[in-house]
């Protein structure tokens, strides 16, 4: 199963970084582009803080990326189900997608700005986000949803 998770991770990191590059080139920072009224659109922002604007030291982000990488490296080879491997791959992709921004985007390592560009308004404006953020959310939800199935598969000696 590790191959499935690693392929998912690589695909999502590629999609994340490509979409951020496109947003960075095509959008004007701060200017909203509506797609479905004002409910769904794009707005380019550079996020130097943690989720929901929380302020943390710059080293914190790279530490989280390293911790997630270690957790996935430890658990992905043990995944008995493809969907569990995909969940780990999504978590890894999200951590690495935003970690690459912190390392490579201006002003540079370790304080680079994460490119956020998806704008939603559901009962009011939500924080802007990106593909990596969606991968983290989807990976976490999928991992929670598969935990019981994964345990049963491991108990039964299943491989897929």
Residue among 26, 5, 13 at smallest CA distance from 117: 26
Q: Categorize the per-residue pLDDT at 160 as very low, low, confident or very high, splitting at 50, 70 and 90.
A: very low
CB under 8 Å to 126, separation ≥6 — which residues?
Answer: 119, 120
pLDDT at 156 over 80: no
Ramachandran angles phi, psi of 55, nearest 5°: -90, 125
- Positive or negative torsion for Cα 48, 50, 52, 54: negative
In this structure, what token pair is assigned to residue 69?
């990488």
Which of 16, 34, 49, 116 does the annotation list as catalytic?
Answer: 116
Known catalytic residue at 101: no
Q: Of all helices (H) and strands (E), which one includes residue 129?
A: none
pLDDT at 15 over 90: yes
Residue among 2, 41, 16 at smallest CA distance from 96: 16
Q: How many CB atoms lie within 10 A of CB 15?
A: 16
Which of 24, 34, 133, 155 does the annotation list as catalytic?
Answer: 133
Q: Categorize the per-residue pLDDT at 38 as very low, low, confident or very high, splitting at 50, 70 and 90.
A: confident
**pLDDT score of 113:** 93
Tell me how far the alpha carbon of residue 142 is from its chain's centroid: 13
Ramachandran angles phi, psi of 41, nearest 5°: -170, -165
**pLDDT score of 106:** 93
What are the start-end ranges of the E strands in the chain? Answer: 32-36, 40-47, 114-120
Known catalytic residue at 116: yes
Averaged pLDDT for residues 36-42 = 92
Q: Categorize the per-residue pLDDT at 18 as very low, low, confident or very high, splitting at 50, 70 and 90.
A: very high
45-62 pLDDT, tens digit each = 999 887 666 788 888 888
In this structure, what token pair is assigned to residue 154?
């491991």
Alpha-carbon gap, residue 90 to 84, rounded angstroms: 10
């Amino acid at each position: 199963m590790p191959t499935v998770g690693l392929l998912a991770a690589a695909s999502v990191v590629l999609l994340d970084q490509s979409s951020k590059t496109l947003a960075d080139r095509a959008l004007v920072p701060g200017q909203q582009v509506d797609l479905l009224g004002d409910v769904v659109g794009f707005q380019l922002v550079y996020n130097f803080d943690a989720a929901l604007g929380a302020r943390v030291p710059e080293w914190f982000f790279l530490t989280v990326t390293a911790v997630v990488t270690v957790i996935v490296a430890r658990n992905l080879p043990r995944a008995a189900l493809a969907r569990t491997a995909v969940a780990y791959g999504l978590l890894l992709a999200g951590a690495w997608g935003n970690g690459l921004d912190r390392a490579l985007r201006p002003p540079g390592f370790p304080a680079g700005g994460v490119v956020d560009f998806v704008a939603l308004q559901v009962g009011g404006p939500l924080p802007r986000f990106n593909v990596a953020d969606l991968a983290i959310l989807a990976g976490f939800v999928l991992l929670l949803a598969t935990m019981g199935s994964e345990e049963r598969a491991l108990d039964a000696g299943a491989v897929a």
